[in-house]
Amino acid sequence: MSDNFKLDLAQRPRRLRRTASLRAMVEETVLRPADFIAPLFVVEGRAAPDPIKSMPGVFRLNIRDLVKECRALQKVGVPAVALFPKLDPKLKDDVGSQALNEDALVLRAVRAVKKAVPELTILTDVALDPYTSHGHDGVLNEALDDVENDRTVGLLMKMAVLQARAGVDLVAPSDMMDGRVGAIRQALDAAGYTGTGIMAYAAKFNSAYYGPFRDAVGSAQAAGTRLLSKATYQLNPANRREALIETQLDDVEGADILMVKPAGLYLDIIRDVREATRKPVAAYQISGEYAQIQAAAQLGWLDLARCRHESLLAIKRAGADMILTYFAKEMATLLRAGR
């Protein structure tokens, strides 16, 4: 065969990959700082930032340092933060009573951030797992083998109203109790907080990748294990159609934003939800996804910068309008610098 052989092709897709400028012109999915929501962990006291060993580069912050971090995030273009408290274990009990304390840690954190950085959007988690001595997202039944759905929802309604009163922009129920979105919407409206939105953890799966987060908020310590099963209320990872049932219910009940969690392992679910609703779709790149990338990069097995970018690009390409990620600050800083 001649070295000068040429194929007779009308279509050569590589033409548009030939130079960097051509590739930029036809790029279909673009990440922006405004795509990211930064999850942040807050603790009591004035101690220095406390590193979370299973999440390199992530810290538990006192309220003063939390405010500083929020200012820094706003400066690099991150529009929103999600706050998660880590309580002293002595404050935890079987029913998570500290969640209804009107001067709870997370409520003080919200007020401090809103005062210092009023333009920043604040989300707060509506679930009892940071507050319960057993680490579950609700109140256990008498047999202590399952969470009581309706009793838990009653507490979540009160919790959401307290958070709205503190000034949050979006309450984010992550518990996966049946009917909680509609009940929270009714409670917020009845209390006069019609402007407070709901970002529902609509399709939250019973994932094995939550371990580092449970370390961060102390729910693993409360339960005595990071392997705590929440299979009776979180979605079965095998079920795709059921995820759509859950998201459609939350949509009808009044959720303003529908979230899929985890993100990277559930790109098919993100796409399904994107095609099933006209509402904004969020996805949470969870602690285990973050920890995997960091650990492999530290061992020299992966390129951190490229894998970080590719993992987030995939989530947005699947259909997410916004991404909760522990990479938010780093990514926003690089994107603003044009890198």
Is 6 labeled as catalytic in the residue annotation?
A: no
Residue among 204, 230, 316, 329 flagged as catalytic: 204
Residues 176 and 235: their CA atoms lie apart, in Å, by 8
Residues 232 and 276: their CA atoms lie apart, in Å, by 25
Residue among 92, 230, 261, 279 flagged as catalytic: 261
Strand partners, 93: 132
Is residue 35 within 8 A of residue 6, CB to CB? The reply is no
Is 68 labeled as catalytic in the residue annotation?
A: no
Residues 116 and 167: their CA atoms lie apart, in Å, by 12
Q: In the numeric block, which tokens belong to residue 134?
A: 């057993």
Can you give the three-state secondary structure of the chain, one letter per residue? CCCCCCCCCCCCHHHHHCCHHHHHHCCCCCCCHHHEEEEEEECCCCCCCEECCCCCCCEEECHHHHHHHHHHHHHCCCCEEEEEECCCHHHCECCCHHHHCCCCHHHHHHHHHHHHCCCCEEEEEECCCCCECCCCCCCECCCCCCECHHHHHHHHHHHHHHHHHHCCCEEEECCCCCCHHHHHHHHHHHCCCCCCEEEEEEEEECCCCCHHHHHHHCHHHHHCCCCCCCCCCCECCCCCHHHHHHHHHHHHHCCCEEEEECCHHHHHHHHHHHHHCCCCEEEECCHHHHHHHHHHHHCCCCCHHHHHHHHHHHHHHHCCCEEECCCHHHHHHHHHCCC
Q: In the numeric block, which tokens belong to residue 102?
A: 């009107």
Residues 96 and 233: their CA atoms lie apart, in Å, by 18
Q: Write out the catalytic residue numbers.
A: 204, 261
